[in-house]
Every structure is written in structure tokens, then in C-alpha cells.
Chains A and B, each alone.
Chain A
Amino acid sequence: MLEIKNLSKTYKKGNVKALDNVSLSINEGEFVALLGQNGAGKSTLINILAGNVTKDNGTVIVGDYNLDKNELETKKILGIVPQEITFDFVFSVGEILKNQSLYFGIKENQKYIDELLATLSLSEKKDAKSRGLSGGMKRRLLIAKALVHRPKLLILDEPTAGVDIELRRSLYDFLNQLHQQGTTIILTTHYLEEAEKLCDRIIIINEGKIIADDSKNKLMDTLGNEAMVELNFDNKKELSDFHFLTSYSPVMKNSKTLQMKASKQNIADIFYRISSNKVKFSNFKIEPQKLEDVFLTLINDESNK
């Protein structure tokens, strides 16, 4: 669905190397997260696909079409939700979507437009000017706009930045639904939980370079073997009560809660030591390491190179 090879871009202004020899390949039907901190190069990558930024080097193939040879064909496949919210403010919500359909060569699209408006809870605003919409509504309109031509590959550039939790959830549902209907989706974000919740595959980009690209589970397995073990007690404890666990460097989270990191293989050992020392706990929790930790580990490793 998308093949990128050796893609590079240096902005003349400020001489910033935003993308440095990036290669990636995305298959039909995947739901991929493109993760990276601010300034990592995510938007640059997307803007090259959108035609807003010209690449210095590399090849981009969208569907069966090479961006350099059949640029206009690639447009029909791509639906792009840009990071910045901007609209043709002269027009109403309905008109914006109608115009967008025309630009993509679709004369009669009212039924699908109404469907999109309904799914994105915008039906009531059909005749309103985009200026009068709330932030969340604008974001949804931007998504509707990217979808009017039923793109096979939907790319969203930080669609949930500054969006409240409720809308975020409904957006996740909507994206899942689109994915199930067969749309290939790339989502850029710097919220890790988002990637964790939605995507099968995670690509991490840092300072214009891809530093990880794997299935979510594998990425977590290879890098995230550690878990956080938490034990709760009915009465107050001191750290010295747990001398038998010293090798795990536990900490008291509060006077009745003990926490420590351990690899998954060692968890049994922890419980064995506790029971053989006849310590009674009232509750426990084992949390696999968050993607966030994996992410930070990776970025730190990269910067230490």
C-alpha cells in the first residue's frame, strides 16, 4: 500500500535535516502507529505524501503508483488529515464536503457525505460555517474531509492533539470501524497509549530516522520484558521488613505499598521469597511495562550512541 525508500528531506530554512534516509513499507489492511516526539519528522513525511513538501531524495510508491510519475493517481488513494486545522471558511460544513468531493472527481456524493456527518456527529452543523465549530468538531470535519473520496490509505497527523477524552474515545471507535472495513491506516501521535490501544504495528521515528519498526507485541517483548510488581499490606511496613528482596531494589510507594521492577521470569521468585518469609499481603498487582517506557528506552539508547 505504501513503499518508502531512502527518503530524505532537509529544509533550506534553518538547514534542518527533517528526514534522514527513511525506508518503510506498509501493507494493505495494516493499522500502523508512527510514533515520535515533537520535531521527529512525522509531519514532514506526511507532507511529502500530501504534496506540500518536496523530497530531496528517495522513492515513494502509493498503491501501484510512483509519486514522481503518477502523482495524481496517488492522490485518489490517499486521505490525509493534516495536523493543523484549516478550512475554506467562506463555505459551510456541507459545502466544504461537497466541494472536496468535486475536487476528487465525484459529482454525486451527498449520501456518503450525510453518512459521514452522521457518524462523526456533525449532521446538525451541516449548514454552519466552519468558523463557528468547536475545536473537536473542527477536528472531526477535517477527518470527514479526508474521507469523502473513500481513500484506501488514511493518514492522520496527530488527530487527537488537544482533543478531550470522550471525543478521543469516539474517534478510536470510528478508526477501528474504518480499519475493519478495510482501510489501511497510519496514525501519527506522540501519545503512546493511543498507539498501544489501536495499532498492530509501531514505527518509531526520532530525529528523522526510523529507530524501531515492529509489531506492537514484539516490540514490547524484546524491549519490554520487565514488569512492575506491586504489593499491598494491611498494616504499615518499613523497607527493612523486606531485606529478602533487596536484590530487586524495591521501594515503598507508601507506607502500605511496596513496588519493584522485575523481569517476567523472576516474578515467581519474588512470591516464593515472600511466602517463605511468612509475610502476608492483602493484594498485589503485576503490570507489564508500558510502551512509554519502551519508547523512552529506545530514544535514550539512540541518543547515547
Chain B
Amino acid sequence: MKSNFLFYNPTGFFGLFKREVKRFMKVYIQTLLAPLLSNMLFLGVFGGMLKTRQVGIEGVDYLHFLVPGLSAMGAIFAGFQNPSFSIIVQKYSDTLKDLNSYPLSNFEKTLAFVLGGTVRGTLIGILTYIATIPFVGYSINNPLIFFGMLIVLSFIFSSLGVTVGLVLNNFEKMNFLLAIILTPLAYFGGVFFEVSQLPGILSKIIIANPLYPLINMVRFGYLGVHEGSIAIQSIFISIMSFITFFIAFLLLKKGVGLRN
């Protein structure tokens, strides 16, 4: 199965991308409002309880600390769920194989799915931020980094979502993966607390958590303060974006979940 060009059929690529966005827009209550609401619950419960507490970072209260964490977490889950859900549903309805009949390169197909999830992840991240404005104000230290990192984060997890969607064939397995791997990684990736506040060994484990630098960079954009080396984390994030996308592309090219 050869496709010689990255972009072979831009109109078709854009059509498939729009399809992915329209799909979640049509069910926005589940795909946008529900995750937003749960983020607001987190903000109410943890933020309300702990708002006066100062975090280790100087001059930052807990509520401000929590906002970028929740934005990042929302982007991670939404980015992951959009393509994985879309692909698995299409396996159930047996329409996924229709992809085989379109004159679209494998790169275009992969990118369309990944960008669909990227849009949803970024939207959730931004909506979470907007919803917190009444409580913490709107100021962002570096909007370019904050929003840019939400996009990158969504891109990475959307790529993972494509991979998972292609490999798995039912929702039970996908939810299991979400509950057993992604959720703990996110919860212990610095969404709710600073890593440096944790006792010795635990903080080491968390730094090994691949989500940690991602969430940390989103927080850096929002607060202007960070833990660890920005340079190393940026390199790590770039590599991760490339690798996750490339894996999704390879699987799609190989026809995993698509061909007999």
C-alpha cells in the first residue's frame, strides 16, 4: 500500500478532519460540557477546600496552581478520547473500512483523526480556563506557551488515541486502559499538587511520569514558574509528539484494524 505524497488530496483530508470535528460537536453535551463540568467540580472541591493554602511556588495560591493542571488534564483526556472513540464506534458500525476506499494518503488519514482530537482537547483546555476566570481572573503569564502547549498536549494524546482506536476493538478495553493507565498518570502527573512537595521517592517516581513535563509546561505558560529544566522538557515533548504521531501513522499504514 504505497502513497507517494504526504498531501495527496487536501480537500479530502480537510473533509475527513471536518467530519471528526463535526462528530463531537453534534454530541457536545457528552464531549464538551461533561468534561468541563467535571473539571469545575475538581476546582470547587479541591480549590474550595485548599484555596488559601500557599503552594511552594512563591506568591502562588493553590487555586491558581490548579487551573493549568485542570486545563491540561482536560486536554489530555479529550484529545485521547476523540479519535479512539470515533474509530472504535466506526468499527462497531463497520464503517471504518470505508477509509480504505478514499483516495487519501495514510498521512492525510492519520493527521485528520489526530487533528480532530487536537481540536477537541484544545477546546476543553481553553473552556476550562474560561470557566475559571470568575474565580481566579483571566491573567496568563505567557498565553502563547499556555495555549500552544494545550495544542501540543492534545496532539500527543490524540495520536495515542488513534493508535488505541486502531488496535482495540471494543469500549471495555479502551475504558480499562483509560482507568488503569491514563487516569493515574494524570492524577499523579502534577495536576493537583507540586511534585517537590512530595516525600523523596514518590517525587522521583512522578518525574518519570511522561505526563509530568507536559503538565508542567502548561503550568509554566499560565503561571510563568516551573519545575525542572524547560529545555529538556521541550525536547522531550517534541520527541513525544513525533513518536506518538509516527506510531499512529505506521499502524494505519499497515492497515491494523482496517484490512483483512
What count of chain B residues pass the 8 Å CB interface test? 31
- B104 and A103 contacting across the interface, CB-CB below 8 Å: yes
Min C-beta distance of A8 to chain B, whole Å: 14
B2-A71 in contact (CB<8A) = yes
Interface: B255 (CB within 8 A): yes
Q: Which B95-149 residues sit within 8 Å CB-CB of chain A?
A: 95, 97-98, 100-105
Asked whether A104 lies within 8 Å of B93 as measured between CB atoms, the reply is no
CB distance from B16 to the nearest CB of A (A): 6
B260 and A103 form a contact (CB under 8 A): no
Task: Say if the beta carbon of A287 comes within 8 Å of chain B.
Answer: no
Cα distance A99–B103 in the bound complex, in angstroms: 13
Main secondary structure of the interface of A (DSSP, over half): loop
Chain A neighbourhood of B258, CB < 8 A: 52
Is A69 touching B101 in the complex (CB atoms < 8 A)? no
Q: Which of A82-90, A237-245, A270-278 contacts B (4 or more CB under 8 A)?
A: A82-90
Interface residues in B1-34 by Cβ distance below 8 A to A read 1-3, 8-9, 11-12, 14-16, 18-19, 22-23, 26
A39 at the interface (CB under 8 A from B): no
Chain A minimum-CB-distance residue to B24? A90
CA distance A68 to B103 in the complex (A): 14
A103 touches B12 (CB 8 A): yes
Given contacts A11-B260, A86-B95, contact A54 B255 (CB under 8 A): yes
Q: Report the minimal beta-carbon distance from A4 to chain B, rounded to whole angstroms.
A: 18
- CB contacts (< 8 Å) of B22 on chain A: these are 90-91
Query: With a CB–CB cut-off of 8 A, which chain B residues contact A50?
Result: 97, 100-101
**Interfacial chain A residues near B94, Cβ < 8 Å:** 84, 86
A54 touches B260 (CB 8 A): yes
Contact with B along A98-122 (1 / 0, CB 8 A): 0101111111000000000000000
Q: How far is B9's CA from A17's CA once the two chains are assembled, in angstroms?
A: 36
**Chain A residues with CB under 8 A of B103:** 72-73, 75-76, 103-105
**Docked-complex contact B101 and A53, CB < 8 angstroms:** no
A47 within 8 A of B: yes
A78 at the interface (CB under 8 A from B): yes
Name B101's closest neighbour in chain A (CB-CB). A50
- Contact in complex: B260, A102 (CB < 8 Å): no
- A51 interface hit (Cβ, 8 Å): yes
- In the complex, the answer to whether A52 meets B95 with C-beta atoms within 8 Å is no
B156 CB, nearest partner CB in chain A, Å = 26
**Does A86 lie within 8 Å of B93, measured CB to CB?**
yes
A168 to B71 alpha-carbon distance, docked (Å): 56
Distance in Å from the Cβ of A258 to the closest Cβ of chain B? 53
Chain B residues with CB below 8 A from A203, complex form: none
A40 proximity list for chain B (CB < 8 A): none
Contact (A71, B1) CB under 8 Å given A89-B93, A102-B11, A102-B15: yes
Whether the pair A80, B101 counts as a contact (CB closer than 8 A) is: yes
Q: Kindly state the separation between the CA atoms of A84 and B97 in the bound complex, as whole angstroms.
A: 12
Q: Which of A51, A52, A54, A103 contacts B16 (CB 8 A)?
A: A103
Identity of the chain A residue whose Cβ is nearest the Cβ of B97 in the assembled complex: A52
Which of chain A's residues has its CB closest to B16's CB? A103
Complex Cα distance, B258 from A75, in Å, reads 16
Contact A99 B3 (CB under 8 A): no
Minimum CB–CB distance for A13 against chain B, Å: 8
Chain B residues near A51 (CB-CB < 8 A): 1, 100-101, 259
Which residues of chain A come closer than 8 Å to B90, judged between CB atoms? Answer: 88
Q: Which residue of A lies closest to B27 (CB)?
A: A90
Nearest-Cβ distance from residue A208 to partner chain B, whole angstroms: 15
B101 in contact with A106 (CB, 8 Å): no
Alpha-carbon distance A69/B103, docked complex (angstroms): 13
A39-73 contacts to B, CB under 8 A, are 47, 50-54, 68-69, 71-73
Contact present for B15 and A72 (CB under 8 Å):
no
Q: Given that A52-B259, A54-B259 are known contacts, is A102 also in contact with B12, CB under 8 Å in the complex?
A: yes
Q: A54-B255, A90-B23 are in contact. Are A47 and B260 (CB under 8 A)?
A: yes
A124-149 Cβ-contact flags toward B at 8 Å (1 or 0): 00000000000000000000000000
Cβ–Cβ contact B11 & A107, under 8 A: yes
The residues of B that contact A84 with a CB separation of less than 8 Å are 94
Min C-beta distance of B93 to chain A, whole Å: 6
Chain A residues contacting B102 (CB-CB under 8 Å) are 75, 103-104
Given A75-B103, A86-B98, 18 additional A-B pairs, CB 8 A: A50-B97, A51-B101, A52-B101, A53-B260, A71-B2, A71-B3, A72-B9, A72-B104, A86-B94, A87-B95, A90-B26, A99-B19, A101-B15, A102-B12, A103-B15, A104-B102, A105-B9, A107-B11
Q: Using CB atoms and an 8 Å cutoff, list the residues of chain B in contact with chain A.
A: 1-3, 8-9, 11-12, 14-16, 18-19, 22-23, 26, 90, 93-95, 97-98, 100-105, 255, 258-260
Q: Can you pick out 7 interface pairs between chain A and chain B where the beta carbons lie within 8 Å of each other? A: A50-B101, A52-B101, A54-B255, A72-B103, A72-B104, A104-B12, A105-B103
